[in-house]
């Protein structure tokens, strides 16, 4: 892999790395006394990013980059653009102004069509089908607000979509879509009971894109509309 003088890497959490030994192209430029090497590091807290991917609809497009703990090498064009944006950070301004710079960096990263995947988490070895069932349950609980497909689940537990279907019918007594719907509506019910969030916002937070569809499915599941449910069960 050719590494350019201006390069941008995304390094996932808990991955050891050392960029000092990279074989950088155009060594005369890097070693020039007139141009001291620069390195910018942006540390992104995993919990913060996870919450943003769940609760901010505009950020969900970033799940392909930040949602799978993968290492990425971005194109030289993107690296140059990101460097120019980072140089605009003024630490004397408000934290909101600084956040806007970070969001601009995210926007550039997601638009890069020439990025190269460097690494991905090691394959999980499942000792038994019970392990796969637990992995599926955990995955749904963590990602129910996102657009989840049968293909996503199959990749997550390293098996075919047919096997995933069989696991759901055998261990949950229902299909994947039925299970996902129950999880989403259960979380929605909990929010209605314990918060004053608008129904439209709860709809988005639980993975629904259409409020009418959400209201219809919630009523079919609970026997009450979301507003009726809140009036009856909220504290």
For residues 84 and 166, state if they share a domain: no
Alpha-carbon distance of 218 to 213, in angstroms, equals 8
Please check the confidence at residue 24 and state whether its pLDDT lies above 50: no
Asked whether residue 21 falls in the same domain as residue 67, the answer is yes
Residue % of the chain over a pLDDT of 70: 83
Q: Which of 39, 33, 4 is nearest to 18 (CA)?
A: 39
* Two structure tokens written together for 41: 């590091």
Is residue 69 located within the same domain as residue 139?
Answer: no
pLDDT band at 2 (very low <50, low <70, confident <90, very high): low
15 plus 115 within the same structural domain: yes
d(CA 85, CA 83): 5
Asked if 34 and 67 sit in the same domain, the reply is yes
- Choice among 26-30, 111-115, 211-215, 225-229 with the minimum mean pLDDT: 26-30
Q: Is 21 in the same domain as 92?
A: yes
* 72 part of a folded domain: yes
Residue 14 lies in a domain: yes
SS3 assignment for the chain: CCECCCCCEECCCCCCCCCCCCCECCHHHHCCCCCCCCCCCCCCCHHHHHHHHHHCHHHHHHHHHHCCCCEEECCHHHHHHHHHHHCCCCCCCCHHHHHHHHHHHHHHHHHCCCCEEEECCCCCCCCCHHHHHHHHHHHHHHHCCCCCCHHHHHHHCCCCHHHHHHHHHHHHCCCHHHHHHHHHHHHHHHHHHHCCCCHHHHHHHCCCCCHHHHHHHHHHHHCCCHHHHHHHHCC
Q: What is the mean pLDDT of the chain?
A: 83
Q: Is the pLDDT of residue 30 over 50?
A: no
The pTM of the full predicted model, rounded to 2 decimals, is: 0.51
Calpha distance 36→106 (Å, rounded): 26
Signed CA dihedral, 85, 91, 92, 96: sign only: positive
pLDDT for 17: 60
Asked if residue 15 and residue 97 are part of one domain, the reply reads yes
Whole-number pLDDT of residue 15: 63
CATH number, domain of 188, equals: 1.10.10.60
- Asked whether residue 194 is domain-assigned, the answer is yes
Smallest CA-to-CA distance from 116 within 149, 67, 82, 74 is with: 74
Does 120 score more than 60 pLDDT? Answer: no
In a shared domain, residues 79 and 95: yes
> Is the predicted pLDDT of residue 143 greater than 80, yes or no?
yes
Q: Is the pLDDT of residue 153 over 70?
A: yes
Domain housing 135: 129-173
| 124 pLDDT more than 70 | no
Specify whether 65 is located in the same domain as 155.
no
User: What does the pLDDT look like over 163-186, one tens digit per residue?
Assistant: 899 999 999 999 999 999 999 999
Q: Is the pLDDT of residue 194 over 70?
A: yes
48 domain-assigned: yes
Q: Mind listing the pLDDT tens digit for each residue in 49-90?
A: 878 877 787 887 787 777 666 788 888 899 999 999 888 888
Residues 141 and 187 in one domain: no
How many structural domains does the chain have? 3
pLDDT at 46: 78
């Amino acid at each position: 892999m050719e590494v350019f003088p201006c390069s941008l890497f995304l390094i996932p959490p808990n991955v050891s790395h050392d960029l000092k030994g990279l074989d950088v192209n155009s060594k005369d430029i890097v070693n020039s006394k007139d141009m001291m090497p620069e390195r910018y590091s942006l540390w992104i807290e995993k919990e913060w990013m996870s919450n943003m991917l769940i609760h901010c609809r505009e950020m969900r497009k970033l799940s392909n980059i930040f949602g799978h703990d993968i290492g990425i090498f971005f194109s030289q064009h993107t690296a140059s653009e990101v460097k120019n944006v980072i140089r605009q950070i003024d630490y004397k301004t408000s934290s909101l102004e600084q956040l806007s710079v970070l969001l601009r960096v995210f926007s550039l990263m997601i638009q890069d069509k020439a990025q190269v995947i460097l690494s991905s988490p090691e394959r999980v070895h499942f000792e038994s089908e019970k392990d796969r069932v637990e992995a599926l349950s955990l995955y749904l609980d963590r990602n129910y607000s996102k657009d989840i497909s049968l293909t996503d689940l199959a990749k997550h537990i390293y098996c075919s979509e047919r096997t995933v279907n069989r696991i759901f019918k055998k261990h949950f007594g229902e299909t994947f879509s039925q299970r996902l719907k129950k999880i989403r509506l259960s979380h929605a019910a909990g929010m209605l009971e314990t918060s004053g969030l608008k129904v439209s916002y709860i709809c988005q937070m639980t993975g629904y894109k259409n409020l009418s569809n959400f209201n219809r499915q919630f009523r079919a599941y609970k026997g009450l509309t979301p507003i009726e449910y809140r009036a009856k069960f909220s504290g």
